[in-house]
Amino acid sequence: MKKKIILSSVLSIVLCLSLITGSTFALFTSEKTVNVAVTAGNVEVTASVENLTLSTSLAVGNLAETSVTESDNTITLSKIVPGDCVTFDLRIKNNSDMTVKYRTVIEKLADDGLWNGLAVTIDGVPYDGSMKVSVWESAAPLSSDIIVPVKVELPETAGNEYLLKSCTFAYTVEAVQGNADVADSWDGSADYSWFLDNPEATEFSLTSSEQFAAFADLVDGSSALAMDGETSLPVTFEGKIVKLESSVDLYMEDENGEPVCFDPIGSYRNEQAFKGTFDGNGYTIKNLNQNTWALDNGYYYGDLGLGLFGLVEDAHIKNLTIDGANISGESAICGIVAACSYGDTTFENITVSNSEGADYQYYSGGIVGWASGNQTFINCVVDESTEIAAQWGDFDNATGGIIGGCGGNATIYLKGCTVACRIDSYNDVTSTYQWYAYRRAGMLIGNTGKTVDENGRTVAAAPQLICEDVTVIYGNWANYHYCEFGGTSWPYVRVEAGVSNSAYSNPRYGVATDANGNKVVDDNHTHNEGEDHNILCVFDQLYGGGQGVFGAPSHEGVTVIYNNK
């Protein structure tokens, strides 16, 4: 389902357009003003459309005549020819006693091929993408009228594929209180102006999602950049600060309605790291979407890193919320904030919410997928609305609430962090060795190391982990149940569905069957006489240490809260 911001105050502007026919060059100008007043809370804004003009180069007698109709806040362009153009002025006035933020939005409702050919200019700035959206602007209390010119046209240079096509779109103006945190929607393009204006600067500000996309391209060193030919790529931003000045929404759909993947900032595969300071400035990055199949159409076997950042080294990432991320990989390293983190790197004041991170046969972490060197996490939160998973199930997975896995030389310092996410590790209950259960999974780190305790048991060990004022919270999800039956590679299959599996089914090994050979589809299946219906295998560990290793349920400096008893 498409994720969208539902704003509390929406100004719907009705555009009254007329049919133009029967002339070599027709020009229609309307002096009619359409007024809309909206009051939401303390926000009161009025808007009007003026100087509405439609021009067309339609020839006299042409049977395929251009038409424009309006109904219920929508506009339908029919049988459009190259050169047709609609222009109008939007007059906005803030009548409230507070500053408001507003933006203009044109969104496709129906289309038979015209939409992608249309050029939209809002206040002199071209906008492209599945939604034509201007940036958020501010209007002072009781301000004078603000005039926003808008132009929608099919350029004369448009190809024949757009000739005589039609589309319907809605035109709105959105407004919220001035202190509201509103995300700038990504249109799929990249704006490098903030960097090219002064590449030698030590501090940069990103004010739109398009500028944020350019930031990713610069660190990645993409060959598709419209650069000046003199800038050395990739750009590591070492010793420099990149600051976010607006929340960004990275959700975008392709022509088939599928989410578009946003490439990571930097590349683990190509060893291209971000080495500077990224300051989220308290803003939110929303709806980050990545998966290995869409990004590179193949299987990676460990050479791809997914996350907001693909690779960071000697970096500082701070003051940031990631909301609604959806990351999944085939043999890739997945971390919601960073796939891999090297050197002396700090993650500070970071919250991950409403997100999913899942990987098959490698590392998946709520903050970082794989860590080495000296890694510091201060005031980081991975909340209960987030799920980190060992997708499909495999012995080699490592799934952690903070870090998926870390090298033996790593030093991990956690201070003031809270982890309440669901750890969805399906793979590790095999045969009757229930104590294998979650060998490479933990609320803090998926895989660390192991040692032998005084009882001769092999247990997980994390001498590289130092914790101070850390809180781990288990939800009811931690009460995992497994059913035992024959007819599958694994005699135990988990009852609870999740990212890593569907109930009673492991896609890698086929649909499970019960002891009588029946497909298992619900809790009503039967077992042979004497078999238990299921076993309870509670998830209760902060980190795991590998196959045949008991996970660690406690660690110095960590307070554990159980809400699953």
Block means of pLDDT (10 residues each) for the chain, 565 residues, are 30 31 32 39 72 68 64 77 84 83 81 88 75 74 82 87 86 77 82 89 93 92 55 87 93 84 91 96 94 68 84 97 91 93 97 91 92 97 93 68 90 98 70 57 92 88 95 92 58 65 42 53 53 74 86 95 89
The pLDDT assigned to 104 comes to: 78
Degrees, nearest 5: CA angle 345-347-352:
145
Q: Around Cβ 210, how many Cβ atoms within 10 Å?
A: 25
Query: CA 402 to CA 382: how far, in whole Å?
Result: 7
Query: CA 107 to CA 171: how far, in whole Å?
Result: 7
The pLDDT assigned to 516 comes to: 55
Query: CA 155 to CA 534: how far, in whole Å?
Result: 66
- Tokens 């060193």 belong to residue: 221
Contacts of 50 (CB under 8 A, 6+ apart): 31, 33, 88, 89, 91
Residues forming a β-bridge with 364: 334, 399
- Tokens 């929340």 belong to residue: 247
Pairing of strands 85-94, 131-133: unpaired
The pLDDT assigned to 26 comes to: 34
Query: CA 210 to CA 248: how far, in whole Å?
Result: 9
Residues forming a β-bridge with 328: 291, 358
178 close to 98: Cβ distance less than 8 angstroms: yes
Q: Which two tokens stand for residue 269?
A: 């595969």
pTM of the model: 0.73
Degrees, nearest 5: CA angle 268-274-276:
160
DSSP annotation of 301: T
Query: CA 222 to CA 371: how far, in whole Å?
Result: 25
DSSP of 440-499: TEESSEEE-EEEE-TTS-EEEE-TTEEEESEEEEE-GGGEEEEEE-SSSS-SEEESS--S
Q: Around Cβ 42, how many Cβ atoms within 10 Å?
A: 10
Query: CA 539 to CA 557: how far, in whole Å?
Result: 20
What type of residue sits at position 557? G
